[in-house]
Chains A and B, each alone.
Chain A
Amino acid sequence: MNWDMSVPYVLSTVDAIHALELLFALSAGIQTLEYWRMRPALQSRGLWTWQIQGQDIPHAAARKFFDFLFTNTALSVLLVARFISLIALALQGANLPNVSFLFLSNIAVLIRWRGAFNGGSDFMTLVVLTGLMISQWVGYFGYSELGWQACFWYITIQSITSYFVSGAVKLLRPEWRNGSAMTIFLNAAIHGPLSKTHPLHTPWLAALGSWTFILWECASPLALLDGRLALIFCAIAAFFHFLVFWFFGLNRFFWAWAASFPAIVWCAGQL
């Protein structure tokens, strides 16, 4: 890589498309396999039994449709079809029928989990999938290059916004500025509480950790200034998401945001 900042670093559109398709297929594939393993929780003895949860559906006709779609057999078929579709996406690339099926089946799976299964990772998965839908529909009307540009910019704006907003709202909170919020959230996390001797019980270390992540998140729009800066930003982001996984158990966040990185690096090369 050329580190001469006077020469722009540009990720080629073809490479960015391949990287995006592969990372998204991996991210959504991990989610689909997890949904497969969670099927007992959706059955009559589980928390998420459709017999009760289906009462959320406000219209009788829609309820009837989902009653059929969310039978054990139909849902299993849907998950298998999604997995095959994701393998095809990774090996053959995106096409309109494939991406449209992934988009619609993703919405169905989310409705099965009352609209969102894992919060943020569902949002980002849908963002990348919407970007892919944009690329395919605009391409369908003969503007393939424009479609991919719109896809990358849509994903980048949402991804950068996610970091910036997440950092900015913390900056406004005194408990984040003094570091106590980080310790409180880590104690309440699914892998918590922190051990009595954990370094983050030391107030100044917790404050340092808080400020490091707040400032990095707030500086996220600067990643768009240069392709190399974007690469560094994405490497730090991957480390950040790994920590979030390690302490909060949010493995889906790691992969969902990783799928947005090719778009960020591509967009940074265009400015």
Chain B
Amino acid sequence: MSEKATTQSSGYQKPLPEFRPETKPFWDGCKRHELVLPRARTTNEFFFYPRAVSPGEDMTQDIEWVKASGKAKVWTFSIHHMGPTPAYKNEPAYVVALVETQEGVKMMTNIVGCDPKDVHIGMDVEVVFDDVTPEVTLPKFQPAGK
């Protein structure tokens, strides 16, 4: 039921997403370096993370994928000094953040392209794509206008 991305070809050891049928359009978009977000056609409401059924009152499966602005603001963040797996050992501290996109959904991400100490709540950021393996591209965010 899930299409597990493999790490063998790249040597990338950190956790990778396991795609599901309903989430694959998102990851396909990332691979094209396009941030696409699911929106319920019935209500025009975006939601995230992607699901097969809209989590709204409408419960619709009539979902469209819309190219997002890629612009967001940092809602909260945490500089991680310890990672969740052995692959993070000896890695420098990194920023995990919840950003609120212009479309009004929140995404968990990393803030990259700046000193972690410069990240602050309310900071304007924009999407940047990290091709971590041949199969997987992770959308991350960097300071806007960088």
Q: Do A and B come from one complex?
A: no
Binding site for B on A (CB under 8 A): none
